């Protein structure tokens, strides 16, 4: 894969903050105003998420080994970088409006360079109105310094509308660019490129799926525990019946209620 933007704002530092925030279920961004993202979060992760693997298989982008069918390998060798990102967004049904950039073939998004300008505009208002940083100070910050400030202060936890009038953003920038930039602010995706946004969306998707798995495992454990308790009760009843009835029980393997009836009949 070719080299992405050199000023990729999310490296190991992003991974640290992302893991901390997501795993502790903190920092959930507030919903942006009247944002028509498609599809909804619930649709992404609960209804359509499990279909992503099948879709990758359908596109011949996953390889398996007959000897170890449980091991799968993704093969993007024939795709360009943009095709890879587009494929992931399309397959996992991520929000194209937020994740795609102007190079995407599935939805022509806004330019990352233009989005960075808007994000910087929003950040200076955030720094001044939330943290008291004077305009003449933040005006000298480089793009990387703006990115660092956004991450270190967890700017995404403060909705844009809470520290500035959103109309100010729309008045200074094209409507679509302003809208997407404000939504990216609240999705932890300000100062990012296409590759990074896809990486982040995959991380969010994986954590949600892991949470689902944990819940399923808990449910199975409860079911097994109930089974064990029922088996204990069943064994205690079996001990009270005659050898002949015990032979019948072994053959038909009745449930507990039926076993109790057989025991009462024998009495």
Q: Tens of pLDDT along 76-96?
A: 988 999 999 999 999 999 999
Model confidence, pTM: 0.67
- Judge if 248 and 127 occupy the same domain: no
Phi-psi label, residue 29: left if phi above 0, alpha if psi -120 to 50, beta otherwise = beta
The three-state secondary structure class of 64 is strand
Residues 244, 131, single domain; the answer is no
Does residue 10 share a domain with residue 116? yes
Asked if 151 and 223 sit in the same domain, the reply is no
One domain, residues 115 and 184:
yes
Range of the domain at 260: 213-266
Mean pLDDT is lowest, of 45-54, 114-123, 191-200, 218-227, for 45-54
Structure tokens at 189: 């995706």
244 & 125 share domain? no
Confidence of residue 22 (pLDDT cuts 50, 70, 90): very low
Nearest CA-CA partner of 197 in 208, 210, 183: 183
Mean residue pLDDT of the chain comes to 78
Rounded to an integer, the average pLDDT of 55-78 is 80
The answer to whether residue 1 scores a pLDDT higher than 70 is: no
* The two structure tokens encoding residue 236: 């205690």
| DSSP per-residue codes, 218-245 | HHHHHHHHHHHHHHHHHHHHHTTS-HHH
Residue 64 pLDDT class (50, 70, 90 cuts):
confident
pLDDT of residue 254: 55
Q: Which of 145, 162, 192 is the last residue of a domain?
A: 192
Q: What does the CA dihedral 213, 17, 161, 193 come to, rounded to 10 degrees?
A: -90
In a domain, 135, yes or no: yes
Residue recorded with tokens 């910050």: 141
Query: At a CB cut-off of 8 Å and minimum separation 6, what does 38 contact?
Result: 95, 96, 97
- One domain, residues 116 and 21: yes
Per-residue burial over 42-63, b = 16 or more CB atoms within 10 Å of its CB, e = otherwise: eebbeeebeebeebbeeeebee
Q: Is the dihedral of CA 242, 244, 250, 256 positive or negative?
A: negative
Count of the separate structural domains present in the chain: 2
**Which of the pair, 185 or 205, is modelled with greater confidence?**
185
């Amino acid at each position: 894969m070719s080299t992405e933007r050199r000023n990729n704002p999310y490296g190991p530092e992003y991974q640290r903050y992302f893991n901390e925030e997501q795993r502790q279920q903190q920092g959930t961004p507030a919903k942006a105003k009247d944002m028509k993202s498609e599809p909804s979060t619930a649709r992404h992760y609960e209804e359509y998420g499990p279909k992503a693997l099948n879709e990758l298989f359908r596109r011949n982008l996953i390889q398996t080994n007959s000897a170890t069918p449980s091991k799968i390998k993704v093969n993007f060798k024939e795709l360009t970088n943009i095709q890879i990102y587009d494929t992931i967004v399309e397959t996992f049904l991520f929000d194209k409006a937020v994740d795609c950039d102007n190079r995407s073939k599935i939805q022509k998004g806004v330019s990352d360079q233009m989005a960075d300008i808007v994000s910087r505009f929003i950040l200076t208002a955030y720094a001044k109105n939330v943290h008291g940083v004077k305009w003449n100070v933040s005006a000298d910050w480089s793009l990387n310094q703006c990115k660092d400030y956004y991450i270190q202060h967890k700017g995404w936890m403060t909705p844009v509308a809470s520290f500035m009038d959103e109309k100010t953003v729309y008045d200074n920038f094209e409507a679509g660019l302003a809208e997407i930039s404000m939504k990216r602010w609240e999705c932890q995706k300000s100062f990012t490129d296409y590759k990074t946004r896809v990486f982040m969306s995959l991380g969010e998707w994986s954590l949600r799926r892991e949470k689902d798995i944990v819940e399923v495992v808990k449910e199975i454990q409860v079911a097994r525990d109930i089974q064990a308790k029922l088996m204990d009760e069943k064994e205690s009843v079996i001990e009270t019946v005659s050898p002949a009835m015990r032979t019948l029980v072994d053959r038909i393997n009745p449930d507990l209620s039926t076993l109790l009836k057989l025991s009462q009949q024998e009495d």
